[in-house]
Structure 1
Amino acid sequence: MESVLKILDLNSVVLALVLGLIFLVLFEIMRLHISRGRTPPGPRPLPFLGTLLDSIKDPMGSARSWLMRNYTKTQSVVFYDQIHQYGEMATLYIGRQPAIILNTLEITKEALVQDAAAFSGRPTLPVIDWITNGLGIILVNGHSWRQQRRFALHTLRNFGLGKKSAEDRVIEEGRYLVDEILKEEGTAFDPQHVIQNATSNIICSTVFGDRFEYDNKRFAYLLKILNENFMLTGSPLGQIFNMVPFIKHFPGPHQKIIQNANELLGFIREEVKEHRQTLDPENPRDFIDAYLLEIEKQKSHEDSTFHEENMLMSTADLFLAGTDTTATTIRWGLIFLIENPEIQERCHEEIVQVLGYDRLPSMDDRDKLPYTYATVHEIQRCANIVPFGVIHATTKPTKLRGYNIPKGMMIATNLTRIFTDEKHWKSPDTFNPENFLDENGHFYKPEAFIAFSVGLRVCLGETLAKTELFIFMTTLLQRIHFSWPPNSQRLDMDGIVGLVRFPHPFKTICRSRGAKD
């Protein structure tokens, strides 16, 4: 009798669990049905998972053939095409949370520019909060964001951002970069580290007051884990973490994210310690010195967001934003130019006609090098390194094209669609610098080129990134010819999609150019 009761109790527990699960699924289906009736149309989400399986299966979406001339469409290049087919606005579900996707330039400007205050927030994403603790510049909101952004802009300008001194540092680093690459002349090598080191050195000279040599193994390791975290955080692993954040308490591959973040913060903490010991209040050397002084200055203000933990995360934000995005764009640029040798040659010829082989380029040379300048912009368009932009969130209830948008709704810009919209581009589906040239061969920028976003959340480092891209790419094309190694396999041009869309690792062969050519 007792054993029978135990079996009945076990059956009751199993039945209760099954019925509970069925109830939860039915409740979630009903919730999704109600939610979908209030938001723009989009792919049908699965209960609890949303459209996660689609994004894993088709990470790039409408990369289409425009990613590279002569490259055929891969099986995964359909997801973003499906999104824009729902209209100027569409809805995806990141787990249980809806996100509105802006598919056209017009509606993007209407939201992010005309109603900027309502659309200038950042969403709460568990994987990001796990790393940042709600601190920093790029992914925070409200009073803290305004204080930190204002201070960062003011300080970076004081240390040369947007001025000739910052440009001079980029020019000098471009020379170092060429010399470092030419050490590998004639052999197949992966250019990722040297390019990442070069771009990182520009922001490092402003934030830390120094640059790092290309053979510095500790710094090379930091760049490696930085790159790794960009991929992990935006990968399916990061999306799963956002759905079930309690897994942070358990072992697993997701722990690598926090380990990498802590190592980077440890590096910055050591720099802060050294700066504090050598600080001269009358002569601040860099961003860290300026922040230490601001902490003291703001001590008496109750609403101050200046403290050491925020300094570490704000410094990390600048370091991250100033390193990987520009380096990734340059790596995509090399791929496009190797695959389109006639464009590479035309850029080189234009540069040599204006600069020769010895004079290094400056930003003043842009008007004299319209084809090269157009090529740099075309690289950004086709590289499309952040296909959905940096995600926004509404800061208050608002309306957009008849839809009531609640506070906290995630908002993303479909840059892939905007960068391939036939209304805005002469050759939307191919790599063609003519997209940025008028009928007289002069450079012009279509209004659909919004690689640095628009509105209140426009990229903090836009000016510096533009300087680096033009000077680095022009310097490389002036002095070096790039080609594929013999018998190279064709690259998967969908790339690796994380927080940034990276190219797959590749090797190139470089040859020095000189007057004898």
Structure 2
Amino acid sequence: MQSVLSCLDLGSAGLALLFGLISLVLLEIFRLSSSRSRNPPGPTPLPFVGNLLQFIKDPVNSTRTTLQYGDLCCVYVGRRPLIVLNNIKMVKEAFVQNGTVFSGRPYIPLIDWITNGYGILAVTYGHAWKQQRRFALHTLRNFGLGKKSVEERVAEEARCLITEVLKHEGKALDPMHPIMNAVSNIICSIIFGDRFDYEDTRFAKLLEILNENIRLSGSAVGLIFNLIPFIKHFPGPHQKVQRNANALIGFIREVMEDHKKTLDSENLRDFIDAYLVEISKQKSNEDSTFHEDNLLMSTADLFLAGTETTATTLRWGLIFMMNHPEIQDRCHEEIIRVIGYDRPPTMDDRASMPYTHATVHEIQRIGNIVPLGVVHETTGTTQLQGYTIPKGTQILANLMAIMQDKEHWKYPDTFNPENFLDENGQFCKNDSFLPFSLGPRVCLGESLAKAELFIFFTSLVQRLRFSWPHDAPPIDMDGIQGAVRQPQAFHMICRSRERSVPSSPVTPGYFPLHHKHI
């Protein structure tokens, strides 16, 4: 009798559990239906996970398909709606005309786990963000941002890079490390006051983990963590993200401690020196957000943003040049005609090299390393194209759709510098070119990135010719979607275009940097 009752109890419990689960799913379906009726159209979400599985499976194609739903598209990340802006008009209306309302940053569990809410990039629109961004912009300008001194620094580093890759002349070379090292040395010279040699194994490891975190944070690992963040208490690949972040912060902390010992407030060497002085100045200010935790994370943000994005764009550029040798040769001919083999390029040369200038822009357009931009969040309830957008709604700009819009580009889907040339062969701007976004959240390193891309690219094509190894496998041009859309790992062959390449590229007094050189 007791065993019969026990079976009945188990059966009843099972039926109750099944009924509860069915009720929960039905309630979620009803909630989703109600939410979708208030939001712009979009792909059908699944209960609890939304459209997450589609974006995990094929992020690039999922980004493309949002276009079929119109100017605004609503997708669901887990249970939360996310509005995608699919054309330039919508992006300008939101990020420029209503910039204050659309310039927040959402709480993202993985990012918060790493940053603890400090820094610049992931901090929401408000007092702390304004203080940190304003200080960063002011300090970066003081240390050369937008000035000739940075151009000279980039040109010198380009010479270093050319010498480095020519060590492997005629042999298959993976360009990831030398390009990342070269690009990173520019921001390192500003934030750390020094550059790092290409053979520095510790710095090479740091660049490797930086690249790995960019890939992991935008992959299934990051998406699943953001959906169920309590997994941080359990082992798994997400723990690697935390270990990598701790390694980077540990490196910056060591530099900071060294700077404290040698700090001279009358002779500031770099961003860290300037920040340490600002902490001291702001001690009595109750509204101050300047402290060592923000120093560490703001420096990490600048290091990350000043390394990964430009380096990835240049790697896409090499792929496009190898895929289109006729474009590579035409750029080389223009460069040699204007500046020859020996003089380094400057930003002033852009006006005399419209084809090369257009090619750099086309690399950014088709390379499109952040197809959906960086996520924004509304700081208040607002209206957009007749829809009520509640406070706390996540917003993305579909930069892929905008930079391949058939209405605004002559050759939207193919790599062609003519997209940036007028009928007279002169460079012409296009309002739909948005690699740095728009509004209050526009990339604060835009001027530095432009100088790096033009001078690095022009210097490389001036001195070197790039081609695929004869046995190179076809490369998937969709790339690998992480926080940044990276190309697949590839190898290239480089050859000198002329006999004399400088053997000692670093001129005296170039590095380490001191205030008098900035």
TM-score above 0.5: yes
On the 8 A contact 1:147/1:305 being kept in 2, the answer is yes
Secondary structure of 1:85's aligned partner: helix
Alignment of 1:461-476 (within 5 A): 461-476=445-460
User: What SS is found at the alignment partner of 2:94?
Assistant: helix
Are residues 1:98 and 2:81 paired? yes
Percent of aligned pairs with the same amino acid: 65
**Is this contact kept in 2: 1:234–1:499, CA < 8 A?**
yes
Give the equivalent residue in structure 2 for 1:40. Answer: 40
Cα deviation code 1:226-255 (max 9, x no counterpart) = 000001001011111111000001111111
1:207 aligned to 188, 191, 196, which one?
A: 191
Which SS does the other structure have where 2:449 is aligned?
helix
Shift in Å, 1:294: 0.8
**What amino acid is the match of 2:262?**
T
Question: Which residue of 96, 101, 106 corresponds with 1:118?
Answer: 101
- Which of 119, 123, 127 in structure 2 is aligned with 1:140? 123
Query: Structure 1 residue 505 and structure 2 residue 489: aligned?
Result: yes
Aligned position for 1:70: none
Secondary structure in 2 aligned to 1:98?
Answer: strand
Distance 1:455 1:255 in 2: 35
1:230 aligns with 2:214: yes
Structure 2 SS opposite 1:147: helix
Partner of 1:107: 90
Residues in 2 aligned to 1:286 and 1:81: alpha-carbon distance in whole angstroms: 42
Which amino acid is the alignment partner of residue 480 of structure 2? I
Give the counterpart of 1:217 among 198, 201, 204: 201
In 2: Cα distance, 1:191 partner to 1:140 partner: 33
Aligned counterpart, 1:27: 27
Distance 2:35 2:197 in 1: 53
Cα drift, residue 487 of structure 1: 2.3
1:263 pairs, out of 241, 247, 256, with: 247
TM-score, L = length of structure 1: 0.95
Q: 1 CA distance for matches of 2:406 and 2:74? A: 23
Assess if the C-alpha contact under 8 Å between 2:63 and 2:371 holds in 1: no
User: In terms of mean alpha carbon deviation, does 23-32 or 464-473 score higher?
Assistant: 23-32
Q: Which runs of structure 1 show a deviation greater than 3 angstroms over 4 or more consecutive aligned residues? A: none
1:244 maps to amino acid: I
CA distance in 2, matches of 1:6, 1:172: 81
Shift of 1:125: 0.9
| 2:110–2:226 Cα contact (<8 Å) kept | yes
Aligned counterpart, 2:15:
15
How far residue 168 of structure 1 moved from its aligned partner, in angstroms, is 1.1
Code of the aligned partner of 1:5: L
Deviation for aligned residue 1:96: 1.1
**1:434 and 2:434 are equivalent in the alignment:** no
CA distance in 2 between partners of 1:299 and 1:497 (Å): 42
Corresponding residue of 2:511: none
Counterpart contact for 1:83–1:90, Cα < 8 Å: yes
User: How many equivalent residue pairs?
Assistant: 499
Deviation at 1:124, TM superposition (A): 1.0
- Residue type matched to 1:297 in 2? K
Q: Deviations over 1:65-85 (max 9, x none)?
A: xxxxxxxxxxxxxx2332111
Q: Which of the numbers 270, 277, 291 marks the counterpart of 2:275?
A: 291
SS in 2 for 1:456: helix
Across the aligned residues of Structure 1 and Structure 2, the Cα RMSD in angstroms comes to: 1.0
Do structure 1's residue 279 and structure 2's residue 263 form an aligned pair? yes
- Measured against aligned partners, the alpha-carbon deviations of 1:460-504 in whole angstroms (never above 9, x if no partner) come to 100000000000000000000000001211101111000000000
Q: Which amino acid in the other structure matches residue 364 of structure 1?
A: D
Superposition deviation, residue 515 in structure 1: 6.6
2:335 is matched with which residue: 351, 355, 358?
351
**1:259-312 alpha-carbon deviations (Å, 9 max, x no partner):** 110110000010111001111111111110111111111111111111111110
CA distance in 2, matches of 1:5, 1:310: 62
Matched residue SS, 1:29:
helix
Letter paired with 2:9: D
Determine the C-alpha separation between the residues in 2 that align with 1:276 and 1:96: 47
Residue 173 of structure 2: aligned partner = 189
After superposition, give the CA deviation of every residue in 1:86-113 in whole Å (9 maximum; x if it has no partner). Answer: 0000011111111100000011101111
For 1:110, the aligned partner's letter is E
SS in 1 for 2:59: coil
User: What is the aligned partner in structure 2 of residue 484 from structure 1?
Assistant: 468
Distance 2:236 2:63 in 1: 31
Counterpart-to-counterpart distance in 2, 1:488 and 1:251 = 37
In 2 relative to 1, CA 370–515 (structure 1 residues): closer, same or farther, beyond 3 Å? farther
TM norm structure 2: 0.95
SS of the residue 1:440 aligns to = coil
Q: Distance in 1 between matches of 2:322 and 2:366?
A: 14
CA distance in 1, matches of 2:204, 2:64: 38
Q: For residue 515 of structure 2, what is the aligned residue in structure 1?
A: none
Aligned residue for 2:440, secondary structure, equals coil
CA–CA distance in structure 2, aligned partners of residues 46 and 193 of structure 1:
41
Q: Does 1:306 align with 2:286?
A: no
| Matching of residue 80 in structure 1 with residue 54 in structure 2 | no
- Taking the aligned partners of 1:194 and 1:186, their CA distance within structure 2 comes to 16
Aligned to 1:317: 301
Q: Per-residue CA shift, 1:358-417, capped at 9, x if unaligned?
A: 111111111111100000000000000000001111011100011000111110011111
Counterpart position of 2:310:
326
The one-letter code of the counterpart of 2:102 is F
CA distance in 1, matches of 2:20, 2:287: 47
SS at match of 1:359: coil
Aligned match of 1:382: 366
Mapped contact 2:371–2:398 kept (Cα < 8 A): yes
Give the superposition deviation at 1:12: 3.0
The answer to whether the Cα contact below 8 Å between 1:248 and 1:254 also exists between their aligned partners in 2 is yes
Contact 1:357 1:515 in 2 (8 A): no
Residues in 1 aligned to 2:198 and 2:326: alpha-carbon distance in whole angstroms: 31
- 8 A Cα contact 1:101 1:413, kept in partner: yes
**5+ residue gaps, structure 2:** 501-518
The one-letter code sitting in structure 2 at the alignment partner of 1:2 is Q
Give 1:21 deviation, angstroms: 1.5
